[in-house]
């Protein structure tokens, strides 16, 4: 349902810069983690312009001060092939989806992000991502990712993605997944967390919206 909602918003808005908001359940963490609003995804809003993709992550409560320890990840499946693991060795399930880009980020110590592209032998760190923590006290962090870095400079792209949260350590599972409105991990440690269906963000170009709607539906059906 989330995929169809995303397409509808883009088509109705009629402009390439339309922002699409993807909501997640709140209080959908395992019982030991559910008290921490800084690791509970509330929504993710995606938009783009000619140069960048923009991701705004909103959490249930502040991600500033003592609530700055969560680690946030963005997985992107943009083309065929890719990797089902991630560059940080976290136990985050992709449901078999082969991602082409992974961004890992932190919000302590001023925050930061690292962007990686999938290679045959592992992940390659590349330039192209930045962060904005000016609204951290409101539970919001914004990321800007270069379209050129992602190879998304054409007039039409399907970007399947998931946003996840983990603790600080390698092996930590995805405590919350944007794609999963239920509990994605039963504990702080453990095997890969459980995603739902990846979300879809469509990069259109003005003037091709009629084709965009048809192309997007065809692409979705092929993937099912």
Comparing CA positions, the residue from 56, 70, 75, 54 lying closest to residue 140 is 56
User: Of 58, 77, 162, 172, which one interacts with Ca ion (CB under 5 A)?
Assistant: 77
Q: Could you give the angle at the alpha carbon of 223 between the alpha carbons of 191 and 73, nearest 5°?
A: 40
User: Of 6, 63, 71, 82, which one interacts with Ca ion (CB under 5 A)?
Assistant: 82
SS (H, E, C) 169-224: CCCCECCEECCCCCCCCCCCCCCCECCCCCEEEEECCCCCHHHHHHHHHHHHHHHC
Residue 181 touching Ca ion (CB under 5 A): no
- Binding to Ca ion (CB under 5 A) within 183-202 occurs at none
User: Of 34, 43, 56, 98, which one interacts with Ca ion (CB under 5 A)?
Assistant: 98
Contact by Cβ (8 Å): 26, 224: no
Identify which range of 4-12, 77-85, 127-135, 147-155 contacts Ca ion by CB under 5 A: 77-85
Question: Which single residue is written with the structure tokens 């560059």?
Answer: 87
Shortest distance, position 97 Cβ to Ca ion, whole Å: 7
Please say which residue, 82 or 93, places its beta carbon nearer to Ca ion: 82
Angstrom distance (rounded) from CA 38 to CA 155:
36
Shortest distance, position 103 Cβ to Ca ion, whole Å: 15
Binding string, residues 2-41; x marks residues near Ca ion by CB under 5 A = ----------------------x---x-----------xx
Residue 100 touching Ca ion (CB under 5 A): yes
Please say which residue, 16 or 100, places its beta carbon nearer to Ca ion: 100
| Element at 13 (helix H, strand E) | helix 2-13
| Element at 56 (helix H, strand E) | strand 52-59
Shortest distance, position 13 Cβ to Ca ion, whole Å: 26
Please say which residue, 88 or 161, places its beta carbon nearer to Ca ion: 161
Please say which residue, 16 or 57, places its beta carbon nearer to Ca ion: 57
Shortest distance, position 17 Cβ to Ca ion, whole Å: 25
Angstrom distance (rounded) from CA 13 to CA 15:
6
Q: List CB contacts of 186: < 8 A, sequence separation 6 or more.
A: 30
To the nearest 5 percent, what fractions of the chain are helix, strand and coil? 15, 35, 50
| Number of residues located near Ca ion, criterion CB under 5 A | 9
Please say which residue, 43 or 47, places its beta carbon nearer to Ca ion: 43
Residues that bind Ca ion (CB under 5 A): 24, 28, 40-41, 77, 82, 98, 100, 176
């Amino acid at each position: 349902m989330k995929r169809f909602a995303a397409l509808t918003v883009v088509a109705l808005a009629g402009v390439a810069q339309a922002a699409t908001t993807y909501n997640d359940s709140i209080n959908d963490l395992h019982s030991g983690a559910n008290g921490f609003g800084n690791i509970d995804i509330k929504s993710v809003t995606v938009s783009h312009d000619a140069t960048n993709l923009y991701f705004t992550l909103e959490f249930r409560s502040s991600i500033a001060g003592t609530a700055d320890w969560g680690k946030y990840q963005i997985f992107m499946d943009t083309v065929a092939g890719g990797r089902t693991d991630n560059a940080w060795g976290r136990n985050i399930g992709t449901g078999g989806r082969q991602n082409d880009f992974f961004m890992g980020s932190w919000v302590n110590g001023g925050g930061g992000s690292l962007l990686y592209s999938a290679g045959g032998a592992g992940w390659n760190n590349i330039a192209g991502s930045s962060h904005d923590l000016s609204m951290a006290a409101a539970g919001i962090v914004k990321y800007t990712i270069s379209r050129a870095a992602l190879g998304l400079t054409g007039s039409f792209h399907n970007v399947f993605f998931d946003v996840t949260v983990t603790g600080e350590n390698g092996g930590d599972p995805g405590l919350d997944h944007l794609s999963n409105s239920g509990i994605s991990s039963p504990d702080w440690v453990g095997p890969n967390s459980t995603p739902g269906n990846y979300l879809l963000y469509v990069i259109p170009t003005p003037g091709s919206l009629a084709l965009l709607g048809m192309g997007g539906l065809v692409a979705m059906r092929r993937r099912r």
